[in-house]
């Protein structure tokens, strides 16, 4: 009995160690930036990013996808608006699971991220910023925070023509599809 308990304990330790090993540590740099920075100061990089990603579909191995839409800044001509908003480049970002929208980051202000090489998209909803970096013409990297240090907080996305269709689960299959007939 003791041998089985010890063997089970060792197996559990190895399994949990494997789970931790699957999540790798990310290397990144943080830079000091002013809190009131605007899109304009990083405008060339944001426009280069926009030219490559806007309107295109990006999907991960886990079927999580994103589409970016650039929107006009209606505050650019208003006099009593803060410089951060007035000088902003704005985007709507739709997050997909398979081919269905699951979350919308509406009216996201883009600016240089403290995480070197990334653009921060700060949504109107507090705490709902997302961070993207264009790796190459066909690859995007997204992290959940500028301090994300684990690969479990990272999504690698590839450019695709269409999002994958959501597979039908067994309950939604008709009798013929389920194999009853």
The reported pLDDT for the residue numbered 13 is 43
Q: Which carries the bigger pLDDT value, residue 122 or residue 178?
A: 122
Confidence check: pLDDT of 146 > 90: no
Q: Tell me the average pLDDT across 169-177.
A: 57
Instruction: Pick 67 or 125 by higher pLDDT.
Output: 67
Q: Which domain holds residue 119?
A: 56-160
pLDDT at position 140 over 60: yes
pLDDT of residue 176: 54
Q: How far apart are the first and last CA of the chain?
A: 49
Tell me the pLDDT tens digit for each residue of 39-53. Answer: 988 999 999 999 999
Specify if 179 maps to a domain: no
> Is residue 90 within 8 Å of 121, Cβ to Cβ?
no
Judge whether residue 180 has pLDDT over 70.
no
**Which residues lie closer than 8 Å to 100 by C-beta, 6 or more apart?**
166
> 177 in a domain, yes or no?
no
For 56-96, write each residue's pLDDT tens digit: 999 999 999 999 999 998 888 888 888 888 889 999 999 99
Whole-angstrom distance, CA of residue 18 vs CA of residue 5: 20
pLDDT attached to residue 116? 92
Over range 115-144, report the average pLDDT.
90
pLDDT at residue 77 in the model: 84
Domain assignment of residue 38, yes or no = no
Q: Tell me, yes or no, whether 121 lies in a domain.
A: yes
Give the model's pLDDT for residue 173: 55
Hey, how many other C-beta atoms are within 10 angstroms of the C-beta on 113? 25
Is residue 145 a part of any domain in this protein? yes
Q: Which of 122 and 177 is assigned the larger pLDDT?
A: 122
Highest mean pLDDT range out of 77-91, 101-115, 159-173? 101-115
Asked if residue 18 has pLDDT above 80, the reply is no
The enclosing H or E element of 64 equals strand 64-71
Query: Does residue 73 form part of some domain?
Result: yes
Residue 7 lies in a domain: no
How many domains would you assign to the chain? Answer: 1
152 domain residue, yes or no: yes
């Amino acid at each position: 009995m003791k041998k089985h308990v010890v063997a089970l304990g060792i197996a559990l330790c190895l399994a949990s160690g494997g789970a931790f090993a699957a999540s790798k540590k990310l290397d990144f740099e943080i830079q000091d930036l002013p809190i009131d920075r605007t899109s304009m100061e990083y405008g060339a990089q944001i426009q280069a990013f926009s030219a490559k990603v806007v309107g295109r579909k990006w999907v991960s191995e886990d079927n999580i996808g994103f589409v970016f839409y650039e929107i006009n800044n209606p505050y650019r001509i208003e006099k009593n608006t803060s410089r951060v908003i007035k000088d902003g480049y704005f985007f709507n970002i739709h997050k997909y699971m398979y081919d269905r929208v699951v979350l919308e980051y509406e009216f996201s202000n883009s600016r240089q991220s403290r995480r070197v090489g990334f653009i921060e998209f700060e949504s109107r909803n507090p705490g709902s910023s997302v961070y993207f970096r264009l790796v190459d013409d066909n690859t995007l990297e997204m992290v959940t925070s500028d301090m994300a240090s684990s690969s479990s907080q990272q999504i690698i996305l590839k450019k695709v023509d269409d999002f994958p269709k959501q597979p039908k689960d067994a309950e939604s299959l008709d009798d013929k599809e389920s194999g009853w007939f």
